[in-house]
Structures are given as C-alpha cells and as structure tokens.
C-alpha cells in the first residue's frame, strides 16, 4: 500500500471533484458517506506509509518515499516537477491532517445537517484537505506553494461559506488578501531560492546548505521571506488579523483551519526547512521572537473577548506562536510536537464550542450563556478536558509539548523568551478557564426561549468530541520529557533523521524538574485566578475594567490593529487610487489624448475659414497674393 | 505539408463572410450557424496545425511563399513557436465569441457575423505573416471590422469609443509604416534587392542612432496596442462600449498583437535600441502593473475594471519580455494565452450578467451567487485564473514571468510582485460586491442561471485553464526552439556594437552571418544570393 502513498492527497481531490461536478444530483446520504470516506482513505494510506518508514525512521536513516508523477513547469533554469515526498515530517502531518480532518468531516455531518448548501460544504471541506495534504507532501517549494495557496483559497471559500452575510463575505476576502501579502514575500523567497540554489526540491536544498555553497546572509534573506509568508498563513504578528474574522465560517471549518490545516502550514514549512533556519541564526532568532511575542500578545486580547469562538481564535494565534518559538530556538521537534498535540485539543475545543452553539441556537456571546454544565454534560466534560490540556495542566498532552518548548528556551539561555512563554502560559490558563466558567458555570443568562430548545448534540457530534478528548489526554505520552527516563521521547527520535539538532544542550535533571514544576504551578495559578475572578467574586472583572479603562478598551478592541491597518494601508490605497483616477488618469492622460484631437480639429476649423466657397474671397486672396509677389519682385 | 494549411486557416473565415453576403439578412439563425461552422472548422484545422507542428524547429515552418505585388512584396506566411499558440488562441476564441452573442445580437445579424469572420482573418493574418508588408496590411485591415463592431453593436458612447480606438491605433501604425519603408530602403541600399521579408530585414545591422528612431516608431505602434502606460486610455472606453464578443476579442487577442509585434519585429530588428530603451520600457510596464491594479481597484463599472486589470496584466507580460531570458519570454508568451483565456472569460461572464441586468455597474448587483450558482462557479475559476492561483494557468505564466524578471532585474521583480496582492484585492472585492452579500436589487431575483449554450462556451475555457495550470509543459515545449533562437539572434546582434566599434566610422549596414544562409540553401532558392554592400557615412545621408 505504501508504494501508492502518492494517492493520499488524490482521494479527497477526487471526492471534491465529483461533488463539484455531479453534486446537484447526488443524494445527501451519499455525500455524507463519500466525503468522510475519502479522507479516511487518505488516513489509511498515510498510516500504511507511516508504518513503512517507521522502523527505518527510528534509526538515523533519512527515509523518504518519493514519487514524481510528471514534469510540471520546465522552462530554462526553472525546472519543477510534480513530486510527492513522504518522510517522517510528512508522516506526522499527513496523519494529523487526515486523522483530525476525518473526525471533523464526521462531526460536520451532524453540524451541517440542516444547511441547504450541504454538498458544496463537503466539496470544499474535501478540497481543503486535499490542498493541505498537497502542501505537506510536496517534494519541492513550488509545489508546496500550490498547496499553500490552495489552503488560502479554501479558507476564502469556507469562511465566506454563508456569503449572503456581508460580514462572512468580507472575512473570506480579508483572509485571502492578507494571506496574499505573505505569499508575495513567499514568492520572492522562492525566486531567491531558485536563483541561488538552482533547485527547489527539499533534499537538494539541504544538500546545498550542508555543502556550504550558500552564504549565511543569503540564507537569512530567504528564510525571512519565507517566514513572512508564514506569518500570513499561520496568523502571526503582523499578519494575524484575518484569523479572528475567520470565525464567520461554519464552526467545523474553524476547527479544520485552526487544528488540522492552514495555520499549521507555516510551522510545517519552517520545520521542513529546518536546515535553512538553523543555518541562519538571525532568521531563527526572528522566528523565535515573533513567536513568543505573538503568544503573549494574542493571549492578552483573548482575555477580554466575549465571543466564544474569538477567544479560541486568539488562543490559536497564541499557541501557533509557541510552535514558532520552539522552531526558532532550534527545537523543531518540540514545535512539531506542539503542533501535533494542539491539533487534538484545538479541534476538540472548536467542535465543543460548535456543540454549545448548536445547543443555544447559534449563540456566541458568553455573556448570554452560563450554567450549561448540567444541560450539556458531554460537551462540558470534553470542553473541560480541552481547556485543561491547553492550559498546560500536568500529564495532559498540551503540558508535555509546551514544556518541551519552554525547556528548550531555557536551555538555550534565552531567558527572556522563556519568561514570555511563561507569561503566555499563565494568560492561556486564565482565559481558557474564564471561558469555561462563563459558559458552563454560574447563572444561566440565556433566554427562556433558548432554554426551551436546549439539547445535547447528537452522537454524530459527541462521539468525535469524545475521541478527540481521549487523544488530547494521551497524545502527549509519545513525547515524554527526559526526566521520566531516557529515550522515552519517541516523537523526537522519530523525527531525528529529518531534523537537524542545531544545539546540543544538557540541563541537569534538577533544573529540568524545576522547570516542569514552574510550568505546572503557572497553569494552576492561571486557573485559580480565573476561578477567583469569574466564580468566586464575579464583580472583580468589572472593577478591574473600570480601574484601568484605557487598558481594558485597548485589549477589548484588539489594540485597534484592524483600524490602524485600515488607516495606514487600505484607505490610502483606495483613496489614493481614486484621487489619481479622477485627477490624473481621466483629465491628464486621457485629457492629453482628447486634447490633441481637439487641437487638430481646432486648427482644422480655423483653416476651414479660408475655404469659404465665395468667389470674391478667393479673388481677394488671389489679388493680394499677386500684389505681394509683384512687390517682392519689383522692390 | 503539401496543402497550404496556413492559408486555409487564414482565409477560411473570410470565405465564410463572403458566403454570408449572399444569404438574405432575415435568416438570422442561418447566419449564426454558418459563422459558427466556419469558425469551428478553422479551429479544428488549427489543431491539425498544432499536431503537425515540429517543436524542434526554430524557424517558421509550413511556410508558403509566392510573389504578390513585386518589389519584395510577397505573400509569405508560416508559423513558429512564437505565433503558434497565439493563432490557436484566436481560432479557439472565435467560435466562443460567436456563441456569446447568439441571442443577444439581434440587430443586423448578417453584418455582425460578416465583420466577425473578417476580423478573424485579419487577426490570424497578423500572426502568420512573414513579410512585413503583408503584416502591415493585416494589421490595418483588422481595424476595420473592429471599428464597426464597436461602432454599431456597442453601448451608448460607442461612436466616441470606436473613433478613439481607431485613431489612437492608426496614429501609432502610421509611424510604423514610415519606419517600415525606411527599413525597406536601407535594405535596398545595402543589398540592391527589394525585400520586405522579415527574415531578410532582421539580418540588417543598423547603426544605433538609426535603430533608435525606427525602434521608437515601431514601439509606439505596439505600445499603444498593448497598451502600455500611458497609452492605455482607449482601452477602458473601447471595452466598456464594445459588445461582448468585441471585448473578448479585443482583450484576448488584439492586445497580444502589440506584444507579438515586439517579439516578432521590434526586438530582433533593433536590438541596440532595445537595449537602450529597455529601462524606459520596463519602467513603463512596471508602472502599468501597479497603476493598472490601483485603477482597477476603484472602478465602478465591471468592464472597465477588467479593462484596467488588463493594463496591469499586460504590464507584467511586457516586463517579462524585456527581461530577455528564456523563462521570461516563455512566461510572457504563455501569459498572453492565459490572459486571453482568463480575461476573455471574464468579459464573457460580464456579458452574461449584462444580458440579464442591462447594467455593468457593480452597485447594481449583489447576491447573484445564490441566484446563479453555476455562473458563480465559473466566475470563481476565471477570477482565480486571473489572480494567478496555483493549479490554474495564470500561476504558471505569472511565476515564469516574475522569475524571468527576477533573473535580470531584481528590483523590478520586487515591485512587480505586488501584482499578486493587487490582483487579489480588486478582483475579490469586485466578486464580493457582485456575487456575495444579500440580494439588494429586486431585478437580481429574476436572473436565470446559465443555459446550456453559455455553459458550452465557458466550459472549454475552464478546461484549458486547468490543463495549462497542471501540465504547462505541453505548451511550453512548443516554444523552446523559437524562443532560444530569438534570444540568440538578439544577443548576437547586440554584441556587434561592442566597445571595439569606432563611433566615427559609422557603418550603416553590415553583413550578418550569411554563412548560415548558405548552409541552408533550400530556404532561399527563390531569393537571389544576398550580396551585402557596406555603406559608409560619406556615401549616404543621415536618415
């Protein structure tokens, strides 16, 4: 089966194609089977391929399956093939994307059951999965760019899925355009890469770097350009602005974007190019700093939001920041590990939030929730597991992965980044439990009407929640930190052949323990604070907000970044273009054209006066002419 | 090939329009059918041409040559890697253009189709001509049907638009005519032979000063056609007023003639002047890219939005042309095809919307997606192709163009990359305002989704978009030989005026590599052996 690994992305592609072309004639039941099945097939083939390379992977051998389907774009020195590639890094991504993707597909059957564009929804969901699988299985950067843009497109289509709502249509457009800004930088990076490396294929890029053919400043430039692309796709400072608005899409789409596809693309790309990023110290540094800052920054915004999905969106931005932080300090495996655990708990949180919305007839505002614990027992308990995991409570998966990143920061001596990471962690724990308490505990603040309709979601939605909750708990045990014994970090060892160890550092066991204890304490402190603020004395947040109204408003309005971008970029572009059009293009350029025509006709009219048609005028001119000539001759 | 396939392809549409002359005007459907039939046969013949095309040959093939008016004016046609795809694009789009007006054009149906078929002959003629005189004839002839197509079947300001279009274009081409005759006389002075043959004339190596003036005359004619900033203002007017088929042909094919003129004539004829003007032309192209994009952003009329987007896209095509490397040139040629497909399709779609709503203003739409889901899907793909989404044709052309530019002039590429963002911005914004949101105007509710005819003519375009996007090599390989040959020729000629050239001893004309000619005697049997004569400054006046 593994020799057919290149079929992995083609299953959802084929499924999507069928749904697009024949969708209108297909019964709903059929669609509900075909779409998830295609992704399941991808997962099965992914698993087979994984098992194939697994035994080799644990050694130090780089094991990659490679398949060139056909030559794609060949022109002069531009030689790009359509090549699929499957190595350890790909394996992790393929399993996450297709595995979590499959669960989201199943969940969607229930969630979207009533929607009139059911088939369109699944065709897009399949397309999204295809694009992401293409991205992670591409054997070269150009092909990766196809998937890279492909997920951008799908996010546009799915965020704007309910396009009759102007806000949804705008959010989709915003996502695409903001991503495009990053992609422009990505393209330039690609050109530098192709121009200097003469290749875009991953093994050869690594070879060129290890041969030392490339100067480190050039590597830095390329790495930074690619990272600029990643800030768009993975929603980091400064291009994160599209992700919170992406909430306009159906909730399972948010789960897909945040957990399995799209936003993790940047992290994957940086890990894929780990040799390049390690080669350029500066680029790695920038990645780490942007990651750490985003982790804290997005967390602070999440503190004040009341929209349940928006809180989760900012938490994603923040968690992706951690992944970049990990990659930036050279802990690519830890970054990927966090990506992997995050996929479970973030999709869990979103799907559980979707379940809450489902129960409350689409309500998103936590101020109109509360006390849902007893009404939605399964949703509550799974949501709680998700929250515990993301908060970093010991022995849940998020704890291990986040701790691996923070430990590495500390080990590298990047104490400032480590402190930022810890700050982010405490904020995360706080706002997640704020969400839990506001939503599920305390008084019921929803209307009687909604209360009447209140119901736990059907099994097709709750079973995915339970599965994801299960993995959120146990997923971390394949990557245990060194304090629990050597060689227990299977995850890191599996990735070892494809990820270079940039820094070999050893901390004493004592310090390792100390770091773990600090992170655990931090998590509990965050949760405790949330408890104090939102359960024990619910008036405290108000008091705090009125004590520091400026800070509160700044956070609540997301630092006004959207407004600032609008004033700095969007407005000047549109207004400037209008000014140029009405004051330059029409009157001056076009004016010159019409003006020259008018000038000609003006002189034409003057000259036409001579042609009066009257004999006496002509005779007069004739006589005058004769007189002048005679005068000239005679005198 | 023994049969004169190129002549058949070129003149078959003309024959069709003659046939239409003898059919009474009341039989509208018969006119439509015959026109469609002739354009379809032309297209199928051009596929035969495509299949028989030998991509290993750099020089024109399937050549037909016969004396016409004497004095070097020959009927000489042929096809090479530079023109093949453009001919194919033209013959491909004509049946589509005819189908697009099937119901909407109901007045003077006979004349409409006569002009359309006449136009097709003119267009194909430009692309296959190997004799400069013949080229010029076709170049001008083509204006006549276009003039009437816009002037008769156009919108309310059609007379203004069509006169502007014709005079603007004429202005450029008259200067070109002067340059053509100057070139002709130089060739006669150098060799004692009259010739309008492009292959002969490119052998001339003219002094840089002479080249400058001739190049400017040619370049102006072509730049207006492209249109290069700041000669673009006829385009939005002509597009807005033209009927759908007119807009499609105009955007998809006529604009390409400007680029083709550079490729076929201005660049190989005057390489020194090219080198001299490259910075200027590139800057104008670059301004066109950004300026066109910004202008497109704020247009209120869908058609003029697409027209300005053409200014932007054509800017990139021109920019890549002047990069003078294989990636850039191939990207440029491929992008011409892509632009023809995507912009052609966008105009078709605007036409479909116009037929339903009788307005082109963006604000009169909104929420059309819900009413016309099939159109929404087609529109989406065509828009994405225009944006340059990977997997579709636009991306392949765009990335090759940009990479070509990057290799030669990095800074240009940094700036040109903004097109990636701008194109997404103006097209998505337009799409959102037209297709998304709630239905605000009642008339939108009465819109019917695409009928079979409309699907039938949009679907082939979309298939080609995917085909070029996924397997572009199929098309790229056809141009390799010709593109490399052209580059080599330009490079050889550019080397000629190196530093070792003494400026005061300025030779007007110098023999080119005539050994090459002799080694290939089959080609010039009909031509007397070229005896080049050197002409010195003293012998001749300055032109």
For A62-100, give the secondary structure using H, E and C.
CCCEEEEEEEEEEECCEEEEEEEEECHHHHHHHHHHHHH
Mutate to test the interface with B, among A76, A145, A149, A587 (most CBs of B within 10 A): A76
Place of tokens 């070139």: B183
Q: What is the pLDDT of residues B145-159, one digit of tens each?
A: 999 999 999 888 899
Q: Is the pLDDT reported for residue B298 higher than 90? A: yes
Inter-chain residue contact A187 with B417, CB threshold 8 Å: yes
pLDDT at B475: 93
Inter-chain residue contact B417 with A188, CB threshold 8 Å: yes
Provide the Cα torsion B52, B55, B60, B62; round to 10°.
-10
CB pairs under 8 A between A and B: 134
Provide the Cα torsion B517, B522, B525, B531; round to 10°.
10
What integer is the mean pLDDT of B493-510? 49
Q: What is the pLDDT of residues A577-596, one digit of tens each?
A: 999 999 888 888 888 888 88
Cβ-count burial of A564 within 10 angstroms (0-12 exposed, 13-18 middle, 19+ buried)?
exposed
> How many residues does this entry show for chain B?
543
Q: Looking at CA atoms only, how far is residue A31 from chain B in angstroms?
A: 19
What integer is the mean pLDDT of B288-294? 94
Residue of B nearest to A164 (CA): B437
Cβ-count burial of A488 within 10 angstroms (0-12 exposed, 13-18 middle, 19+ buried)?
middle
Q: How far is CA B351 from the centre of its chain?
A: 21
What integer is the mean pLDDT of B387-415? 93
CA–CA gap between residue A348 and residue A118 (Å, rounded): 22
pLDDT averaged per 10 residues in sequence order, chain A, 635 residues = 86 95 91 95 93 66 77 89 91 93 93 90 95 94 94 92 91 92 94 91 88 88 95 91 89 87 91 90 92 94 90 93 93 92 94 90 85 89 94 91 91 91 94 93 84 86 93 89 78 83 72 90 92 86 86 87 90 91 88 86 86 85 91 86
Question: Does residue B212 lie within any of the structural domains?
Answer: yes
Q: Which percentage of chain B shows pLDDT scores above 90? A: 66
Inter-chain residue contact A72 with B471, CB threshold 8 Å: yes
The tally of domains found in chain B comes to 1
Question: Does residue B320 lie within any of the structural domains?
Answer: yes
Closest of B311, B279, B281, B276 to residue B297, by C-alpha: B311
Residue of B nearest to A596 (CA): B168
**Tokens linked to B133:** 């005189």
Bridge partners, B129 (sequence order): B77
Q: Which residues of B touch A73 (CB under 8 A)?
A: 396, 399-400, 472-473, 476
**Tokens linked to A440:** 């599920």
B302-341 residues touching A, CB cutoff 8 A: 325-327, 330-331
SS3 category, A146:
helix
Closest residue to A73, CB basis, from B164, B435, B472: B472
**Tokens linked to B508:** 């007007």
Alpha-carbon Rg for chain B in angstroms: 23
pLDDT at A503: 62
Task: Between A105 and B106, name the one with better pLDDT.
Answer: A105
pTM: 0.91
Provide the Cα torsion A38, A466, A336, A322; round to 10°.
130
B147-206 residues touching A, CB cutoff 8 A: 164, 167-168
Residue of B nearest to A156 (CA): B428
**Tokens linked to A479:** 């990557």
Inter-chain residue contact A75 with B331, CB threshold 8 Å: yes
Inter-chain residue contact A173 with B399, CB threshold 8 Å: no
CA–CA gap between residue B272 and residue B276 (Å, rounded): 6
CB A439 within 8 A of CB A309: no
HSE, side-chain direction, 13 A CA sphere, residue A472: 28
Find the angle CA(B532)-CA(B535)-CA(B541) to the nearest 5 degrees. 140
CB A534 within 8 A of CB A442: yes
pLDDT at A504: 63
Q: Which percentage of chain B shows pLDDT scores above 70? A: 91
CA–CA gap between residue A169 and residue A162 (Å, rounded): 7
Neighbours of A54 (CB within 10 A): 14
pLDDT at A470: 94
Task: Give me the domain span that covers residue B206.
Answer: 5-492
Average predicted confidence (pLDDT) for chain B? 87
Confidence of residue B499 (pLDDT cuts 50, 70, 90): very low
CB B99 within 8 A of CB B140: no
CA–CA gap between residue B99 and residue B217 (Å, rounded): 38
Say yes or no: B377 contacts chain A, CB-CB below 8 A.
yes
Say yes or no: B287 contacts chain A, CB-CB below 8 A.
no
Measured between its terminal Cα atoms, the distance across chain B in Å is: 43
**Tokens linked to B98:** 């005819």
Confidence of residue B2 (pLDDT cuts 50, 70, 90): low
A261-290 residues touching B, CB cutoff 8 A: none
Closest of A127, A47, A149, A126 to residue A94, by C-alpha: A47
DSSP A153-222: HHHHHHHTSSTTSHHHHHHHHHHHHHHHHHHHHHHHHHHHHHHHHS--BHHHHHHHHHTT-S-HHHHHHH
CA–CA gap between residue A633 and residue A471 (Å, rounded): 114
DSSP B79-125: E-TTTHHHHHHHHHHHHHHHHHTTTT--SSHHHHHHHHHHHHHHHHH
Q: Looking at CA atoms only, how far is residue A185 from chain B in angstroms?
A: 8
CA–CA gap between residue B491 and residue B485 (Å, rounded): 10
Question: Does residue B483 lie within any of the structural domains?
Answer: yes
Q: What is the pLDDT of residues A283-297, one digit of tens each?
A: 999 999 999 999 999
Q: What is the pLDDT of residues B245-265, one digit of tens each?
A: 999 999 999 999 999 999 999
Region of residue B66 (phi > 0: left; psi between -120 and 50: alpha; otherwise: beta): beta
DSSP B330-345: HHHHHHHHHHHHHHHH
Mutate to test the interface with B, among A9, A22, A75, A77 (most CBs of B within 10 A): A75
Question: What φ, ψ does residue B69 adopt, rounded to 5°?
Answer: -105, 5
CA–CA gap between residue A559 and residue A551 (Å, rounded): 9
pLDDT at A529: 92
Question: Does residue B522 lie within any of the structural domains?
Answer: no
Q: Looking at CA atoms only, how far is residue A606 from chain B in angstroms?
A: 21
SS3 category, A127:
helix
Alpha-carbon Rg for chain A in angstroms: 31
């Amino acid at each position: 089966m593994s020799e057919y690994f290149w079929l992995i992305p083609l299953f959802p592609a084929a499924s999507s194609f069928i749904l697009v072309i024949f969708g209108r004639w297909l019964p709903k039941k059929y669609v509900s089977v075909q779409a998830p099945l295609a992704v399941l097939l991808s997962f099965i083939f992914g698993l087979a391929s994984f098992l194939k390379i697994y035994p080799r992977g644990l050694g130090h051998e780089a094991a990659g399956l490679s398949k060139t389907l056909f030559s794609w774009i060949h022109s002069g020195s531009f030689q790009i093939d359509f090549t699929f590639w499957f190595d350890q890094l790909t394996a992790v991504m393929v399993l996450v994307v297709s595995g979590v993707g499959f669960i989201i597909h199943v969940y969607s059957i229930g969630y979207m059951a009533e929607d009139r564009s059911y088939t369109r929804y699944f065709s897009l969901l399949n397309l999204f999965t295809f694009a992401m699988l293409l991205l992670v299985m591409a054997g070269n950067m150009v092909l990766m760019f196809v998937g890279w843009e492909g997920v951008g497109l799908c996010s546009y289509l799915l965020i704007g899925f309910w396009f009759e709502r102007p806000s949804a249509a705008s959010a989709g457009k915003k996502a695409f355009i903001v991503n495009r800004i990053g992609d422009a930088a990505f393209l330039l990076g690609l050109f530098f890469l192709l121009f200097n490396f003469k290749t875009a294929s991953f093994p050869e890029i690594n070879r060129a770097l290890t041969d030392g053919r490339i100067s480190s400043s050039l590597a830095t430039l390329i790495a930074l350009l690619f990272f600029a692309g990643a800030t768009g796709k993975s929603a980091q400072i400064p291009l994160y602005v599209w992700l919170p608005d992406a909430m306009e899409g159906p909730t399972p789409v948010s789960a897909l974007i945040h957990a399995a596809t799209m936003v993790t693309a940047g992290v994957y790309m940086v890990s894929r190019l780990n040799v390049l990023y390690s080669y350029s110290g500066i680029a790695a540094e920038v990645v780490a700093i942007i990651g750490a800052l985003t982790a804290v920054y997005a967390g602070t915004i999440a503190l004040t939001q009341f929209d349940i999905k928006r809180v989760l969106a900012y938490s994603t931005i923040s968690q992706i920041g951690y992944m970049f932080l990990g990659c930036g300090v050279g802990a690519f495996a830890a970054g990927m590990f966090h990506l992997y655990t995050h996929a479970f708990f973030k999709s869990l949180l979103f799907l559980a939030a979707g379940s809450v919305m489902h129960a409350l007839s689409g309500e998103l505002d936590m101020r109109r929730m509360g006390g849902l614990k007893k009404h939605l027992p399964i949703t509550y308990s799974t949501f709680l597991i998700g929250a515990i995991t993301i908060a970093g409570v010991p022995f849940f998966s998020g704890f291990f992965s986040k701790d691996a990143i923070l430990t590495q920061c500390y080990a590298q001596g990047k104490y400032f980044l480590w402190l930022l990471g810890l700050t982010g962690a405490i904020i995360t724990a706080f706002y997640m439990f704020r969400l839990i308490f506001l939503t599920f505990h305390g008084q019921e603040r929803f209307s009687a009407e909604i209360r009447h309709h209140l119901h736990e979601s059907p099994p097709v939605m709750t079973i995915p929640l339970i599965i994801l909750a299960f993995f959120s708990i146990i997923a971390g045990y394949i990557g245990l930190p060194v304090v629990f014994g050597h060689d227990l970090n299977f995850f890191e060892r599996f990735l070892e052949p494809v990820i270079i160890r940039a820094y070999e550092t050893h901390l004493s066991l004592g310090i390792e323990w100390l770091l773990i204890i600090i992170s655990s304490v931090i998590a509990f402190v965050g949760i405790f604070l949330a408890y104090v603020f939102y359960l024990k004395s619910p008036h405290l947040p108000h008091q705090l907000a009125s004590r520091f109204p400026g800070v509160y408003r700044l956070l609540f309005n997301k630092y006004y970044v959207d407004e600032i971008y609008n004033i700095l970029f969007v407005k000047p572009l549109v207004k400037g273009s209008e000014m140029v059009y009405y004051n330059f293009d029409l009157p001056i350029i076009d004016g010159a054209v019409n003006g020259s025509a008018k000038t000609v006709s003006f002189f034409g009219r003057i000259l036409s006066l001579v042609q009066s048609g009257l004999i006496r005028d002509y005779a007069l001119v004739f006589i005058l002419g004769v007189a002048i000539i005679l005068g000239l001759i005679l005198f | 090939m023994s049969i004169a396939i190129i002549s058949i392809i070129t003149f078959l549409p003309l024959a069709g329009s003659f046939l239409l002359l003898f059919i009474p005007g009341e039989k509208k459907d018969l006119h439509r059918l015959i026109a469609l039939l002739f354009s379809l046969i032309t297209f199928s013949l051009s596929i035969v041409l495509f299949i028989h095309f030998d991509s290993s040959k750099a020089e024109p093939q399937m050549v037909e040559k016969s004396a016409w008016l004497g004095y070097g004016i020959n009927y000489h046609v042929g096809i090479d890697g530079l023109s093949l795809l453009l001919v194919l694009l033209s013959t491909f789009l004509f049946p589509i253009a005819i189908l697009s007006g099937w119901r909407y054009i109901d007045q003077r149906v006979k004349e409409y189709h006569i002009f359309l078929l006449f136009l097709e002959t003119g267009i194909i003629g430009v692309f296959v001509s190997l004799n400069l005189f013949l080229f010029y004839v076709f170049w001008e002839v083509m204006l006549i049907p276009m003039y009437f197509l816009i002037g008769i079947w156009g919108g309310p300001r059609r007379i203004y638009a069509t006169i502007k279009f014709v005079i603007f274009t004429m202005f450029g081409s008259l200067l070109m005519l002067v340059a053509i005759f100057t070139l002709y006389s130089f060739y006669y002075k150098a060799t004692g032979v009259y010739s309008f043959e492009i292959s002969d004339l490119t052998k001339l190596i003219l002094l840089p000063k002479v080249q400058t003036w001739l190049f400017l005359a040619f370049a102006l004619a072509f730049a207006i056609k492209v249109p290069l900033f700041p000669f673009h203002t006829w385009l939005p007017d002509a597009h807005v007023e033209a009927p759908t088929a007119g807009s499609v042909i105009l955007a998809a094919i006529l604009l390409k003639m400007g680029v083709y003129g550079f490729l076929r004539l201005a660049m190989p004829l005057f390489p020194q002047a090219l080198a001299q003007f490259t910075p200027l032309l590139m800057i104008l192209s670059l301004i066109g890219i950004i300026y066109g994009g910004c202008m497109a952003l704020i247009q209120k009329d869908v058609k003029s939005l697409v027209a300005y987007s053409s200014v932007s896209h054509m800017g990139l095509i021109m920019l890549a042309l002047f990069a003078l490397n294989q990636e850039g040139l191939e990207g440029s040629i491929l992008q011409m095809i892509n632009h023809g497909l995507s912009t052609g399709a966008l105009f078709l779609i605007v036409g479909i919307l116009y037929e339903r709503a009788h307005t082109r203003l963006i604000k009169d739409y909104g929420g059309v997606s819900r009413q016309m889901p099939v159109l929404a899907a087609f529109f989406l793909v065509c828009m994405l192709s225009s944006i340059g989404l990977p997997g579709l044709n636009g991306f392949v052309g765009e990335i090759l163009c940009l990479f070509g530019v990057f290799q030669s002039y990095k800074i240009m590429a940094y700036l040109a990359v903004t097109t990636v963002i701008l194109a997404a911005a103006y097209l998505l914004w337009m799409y959102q305002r037209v297709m998304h949101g709630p239905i605000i105007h009642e008339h939108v509710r009465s819109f019917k989704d695409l009928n079979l005819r409309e699907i039938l003519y949009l679907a082939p375009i979309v298939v080609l978009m995917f085909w070029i996007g996924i397997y572009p090599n199929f098309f790229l390989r056809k141009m390799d030989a010709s593109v490399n040959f052209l580059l080599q020729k330009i490079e050889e000629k550019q080397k000629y005026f190196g530093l070792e050239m003494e400026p005061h001893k300025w030779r007007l004309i110098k023999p080119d590599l005539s050994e090459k000619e002799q080694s290939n005697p089959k080609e010039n049997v009909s031509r007397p052996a070229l005896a080049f004569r050197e002409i010195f400054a003293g012998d001749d006046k300055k032109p």
